[in-house]
Structure 1
């Protein structure tokens, strides 16, 4: 009886209803294809002609070649279905509305992200190459470079969680949170108790989570429960039973902002596996950074932009922008910051290594979105690969690459630069792992070294190069992160925190097994075949 109730609950859950509705829409497309094919040769021929026009349109789009191929194949192989599906999805107004709102808000916040010319000049004197990437990020989407910020690197989720708790308890004015995954868990419940307490004290608390959580991880109207606790909340793009490109663009960012002075970002979501309180895929290896200083302003504006778009707005009041950016720094005294730093140093952490807080150097917070003309996250990675002289060390959970990224990795390794990638040994998504395996042998041939983290799953998104530059953020080496999701990261140059990043990479490497050509040859042929077939839809995965 209990099993029957469970089955009925699953069958009539919102998730099941959405999945069934989406499958029904796909069925209608397929049925239309067969019906039109048998009903009229003229009608079918018309759709074939329309398919040819669609292919010409796809070829002339400003899009990655892999995405073009992923659409051209179904349009040519099954003309009616492929053509109708492409037109249906691409004519949906959701993406255009979001793009329009984002563009308008970006124009409003641009004056608050003016580049400090003295900082740029200092950077130019140190490295023309670094000024180049700084200029690119600023001109691409208004991401200025900041000097003198304090930073801390977290090699594991447990260490970040401990500092999150301490920093949240110190919040006096506002707390902004934006996360991809939130589950009712020890981690989230611990944070939630602090948020409720702070809200009761008059601290403004805003919590935004990706709407994908509503499918299985949180109740559909969970944001209403948070509102009753005094926490302003909104889900970003809740999943609805309609095929659309808009719902394919998820908010994959992980951002915690406290009083406009401290920000956390990286790969760590709000669920117990991220702090190894539960075992899902072996030991969960993840990373993050904390930044204190003026660079927090860029993350604050990233958050506010997404918050208002999620609320359906196309504008941010100027007084709100000033309140959370300009006024934060007008009202901040140097002695207050020193007090915060001293308190941070005295926090009881797990070990001496975790207590390091580095100042100096440069940091550029940046975001990426699927609607802009630039693939910013991808370009940052390619720039690091192209300018490396000694090494590039990478940690990523997924390896689903386009030709440009393969070329950059190949070029890096062929120049004699030590190019090493750490991947999970225990994957969270078997289809993504099978796809990644199809790239292994190709990359090994070019001289790229690949290792798998044998204790479990690597969820970190880390690039570090030559002890002097690197980035930590939310951006995976796959199509979803590089093209389809809203993402963020912190690019760092000449900051001692990079030594911590590199040291963590070396320590992680000790727990990895190397992938060789011989081990690739021994990999089951059936699994490799499945992976190769999945490459047809790799841009959608």
Structure 2
């Protein structure tokens, strides 16, 4: 019996090593998968088949083969024309210029890694409640005249989901071109038939990077976690909210939902449009969108001009640059006075962890706010582990107590900020398709800092002493979760 067990263990280990090493991945994820495959025979391989395989070359090719040169040339021509037409109106204010001087290296980083140009002259509205977000979104959708493009990780077929869909149907019937991209797993429970009225009205809806053989090629990883809305090429949204009743606080488990979203006008909308078009054409190549059509990239108008400089930055498994993570690290490095972070999931890799530790030990006021409750229990245990470790190095960790905190924000000093879909975890850094707005403007940074200070009043500070008072069983679960952090 013992010999039989040993043989099975050896065979299982050999197959585990072959399975893991046949695809390149970072060393932390490699060891985590070896642990799963060796300690959970058979079942571990089933888990790996859904969560461990890399994105297929066919799907990668569908995304990577798209040429962005024509779009970039179109955007640059429009921005040049706007500068010529509006002159001083489209130039940034003194405060925004000061922000750019501090962040010049960050701007250059994104230009090199993400081919992301600086978008000038934007107006930014910050939305922090589901009620404010959905009311503004519905108002803008109802006023659409030419095109509506929506992309969400979650588009549920619940009350608000039906309400948004019905507005889209009405606009499609009125001749507005409507496209919707949604993530199939993130929108689990939303059937294809939910979008049938939209298709019948002449609109389009498609799951992100859809596959013909879903059951055979199903993967838990590589989700479309982006949240993008572009209306008439003039109004854009990016941030943390999805489409669902829970984002309005209607879910008993979570109660109040605290999130952060941006409404943009100005040249930054062009870059949101660019990424939506790329995502759509990779997801539904049978119904491609013309990437340089004037209706998607209209000329800027004076009333949409503002004073905020920003860059729209994306990252995803189609390349290994981890652009948003690199941006987060550079933001932390640039901090001289403060670095305030909100994230529902705190599972940093070594480089991000070290950046936070160095900043805190250098006298920077580093604060991280996370929820007081889990939405994914195992992930939350890993978050608690890293929170306790960072607290040991002087990072101030807060548990938000007024419901569920889902915002993904960073505020650095008085000039720099980021808002988007990317969390501070391995999944957002390496596995998901994400999008963030990195902003260089004191007005925006100070407003986000004010929201942060308001949230602090509803949060409790966690100290090394409070973490030490945890029970042994809870601490054990946190350590186990930490071992599997690279694959959570």
TM bracket, shorter-chain basis? 0.7 to 0.9
Match for residue 87 of structure 2? none
What is the SS of the residue equivalent to 2:237?
strand
For residues 186 and 85 of structure 1, the distance between their equivalents in structure 2, rounded to whole angstroms, comes to: 34
Indicate which of 305, 328, 339 corresponds to 1:392.
339
Find 2:216's aligned residue among 228, 242, 251: 242
Of the three residues 205, 211, 227, the one matched with 2:178 is: 205
Structure 1 position 67 matched with structure 2 position 17: no
Q: Does 1:254 align with 2:227?
A: yes
Q: Secondary structure at the match of 1:323?
A: coil
Paired residue secondary structure (1:166): helix
Structure number with the higher helix fraction is 1
Task: Decide whether aligned partners of structure 1 residues 214 and 360 sit closer, same or farther in structure 2, where only a CA change above 3 A counts.
Answer: closer
2: CA distance between counterparts of 1:125 and 1:502?
18
Counterpart residue number, 1:288: 261
Whole-angstrom CA distance in 2 between matches of 1:225 and 1:211 = 18
Change (3 A) 1:238 1:99: closer
Sort the Cα spacing of 1:470 and 1:532 in 2 relative to 1 into closer, same or farther, 3 A: same
Corresponding residue to 1:267 among 231, 240, 258: 240
Residue deviations 1:71-94 (CA, integer Å, cap 9, x gap): 3435666899979997998887x5
Query: How does 1:309-348 map onto structure 2 within 5 Å?
Result: 309-312=282-285, 319-326=290-297, 328-329=298-299, 332-334=300-302, 337=303
C-alpha distance in 1, partners of 2:47/2:163? 45
Shift of 1:132: 1.6
Which of 363, 370, 374 matches 2:321? Answer: 374
| 1:420–1:448 contact (8 Å) kept in structure 2 | yes
Q: Distance in 2 between matches of 1:484 and 1:267?
A: 17
Q: What displacement does 1:56 show?
A: 6.7
Find the residue that maps to 2:331 and give its secondary structure: helix
Structure 1 residues 80 and 114 mapped into 2: Cα distance closer, same or farther (>3 Å)? Answer: farther
Structure 2 spans left out of the alignment, 5+ residues? 84-90
Structure 2 residue aligned with 1:185, among 158, 162, 169? 158
The separation in 2 between residues aligned to 1:459 and 1:379, in whole angstroms, is 21
Equivalent residue of 1:287, what SS? Answer: strand
Query: In structure 2, what is the Cα distance between the partners aligned to 1:161 and 1:419?
Result: 32
Contact 1:149 1:292 in 2 (8 A): yes
Match in the other structure for 1:141:
114
CA gap of 1:415–1:195, structure 2 versus 1, over 3 A, is same
Report what 2:64 is aligned to: 103
> What does the per-residue CA deviation read over 1:262-288, in whole Å, with 9 as the maximum and x for residues that have no partner?
101111011112122443313211110
Change (3 A) 1:213 1:415: closer
TM-score, structure 2 normalization: 0.86
* RMSD, aligned CA: 3.3
Q: Tell me the residue number matched to 1:348.
A: none
- Correspondence for 1:174 among 131, 147, 159: 147
Q: What is aligned with 1:165?
A: 138
Shift of 1:374: 0.7
Matched positions, count: 470
Q: 1:88 to 1:419 in 2, by over 3 A?
A: closer
Relative distance call for 1:527 and 1:88 in structure 2 (3 A) is: closer
1:428-454 CA-partner distances (Å, limit 9, x unpaired): 222221111111221111110001111
Please name the residue that 2:205 is paired with: 233
- Say which of 390, 400, 415 aligns to 1:453: 400
Q: Distance in 2 between matches of 1:87 and 1:519?
A: 39
Tell me if the contact between 1:185 and 1:271 (Cα under 8 Å) persists in the aligned partners: yes
Quote the offset at 1:382 in angstroms.
Answer: 0.7
Distance 1:88 1:521, change over 3 A: closer
Distance 2:142 2:429 in 1: 35
1:435 aligns with 2:382: yes
Match of 1:154 among 127, 130, 137: 127
| Deviations, residues 438-481 of structure 1 (Å, cap 9, x unaligned) | 11221111110001111211000000111200110001111111
Gaps of 5+ in 1: 1-33, 342-358
> What do the CA deviations read for 1:175-198 (whole angstroms, capped 9, x no partner)?
100011112233222222321221
Query: What CA distance in whole angstroms lies between the structure 1 residues aligned with 2:470 and 2:255?
Result: 21
1:86 and 1:492 map into 2 onto residues whose CA distance is 38
Alignment of 1:4-153 (within 5 A): 37=7, 61=24, 63-74=25-36, 95-108=56-69, 109-112=71-74, 114=76, 127-153=100-126
SS in 2 for 1:282: coil
Distance 1:437 1:362 in 2: 35
**Conservation of the 8 A alpha-carbon contact between 1:155 and 1:501:** no
Distance in 2 (CA, whole Å) between partners of 1:264 and 1:238 is 24
Q: Is the 8 A contact 1:51 1:80 kept in 2?
A: no
SS in 1 for 2:243: coil
Deviation at 1:37, TM superposition (A): 4.0
Q: Secondary structure at the match of 1:192?
A: helix
Alignment check: 8 A CA contact 1:444 1:516 kept = yes
Counterpart CA distance in 2 for 1:508 and 1:85 is 38
* C-alpha deviation, 1:141, in angstroms: 2.2
Q: 490, 510, 518: which is aligned to 2:465?
A: 518
Change (3 A) 1:88 1:226: closer
The corresponding residue for 1:464 is 411
